[in-house]
Amino acid sequence: RNKLRLMVHAKGVPVTDAKVKVVNNMDMPGMEAETVVAKPIKDGSYEATVAFTMKGAWGIDATIVQRKSTPVTVHFTVPVEK
């Protein structure tokens, strides 16, 4: 298992009351996406425990939901070497 830490800010201010969902997937036949909820740890930082089960490029979609705001999804890639 691996720890993935996300820093959530809105207009430069840490967001401490969001719900953060993380979906990780390797774009390869037979690989299933894993969905986990990130937990707030402090000052707009959220942490999710994910499984990178093999080397390669893992796609991450992090969806941030705040009260009275439109959900925002950010995509990024994590290169895994070990």
pLDDT digits (tens, 9 = 90+) for 30-81: 899 999 999 999 999 999 999 999 999 999 999 999 988 999 999 999 999 9
User: From CA 10, how far away is CA 3, in angstroms rounded?
Assistant: 23
Cβ contact 2:51 at 8 Å: yes
Give the pTM. Answer: 0.89
Strands 19-25 and 34-42: antiparallel
| pLDDT at residue 82, as a whole number | 80
CA angle 67, 69, 73 (to 5 degrees): 110
Place 27 in a pLDDT band, splitting at 50, 70 and 90: confident
> What pLDDT, in 10s, does the model give residues 4-23?
999 999 999 999 999 999 99
* Nearest residue to 18 (alpha-carbon basis) of 78, 81, 66, 77: 66
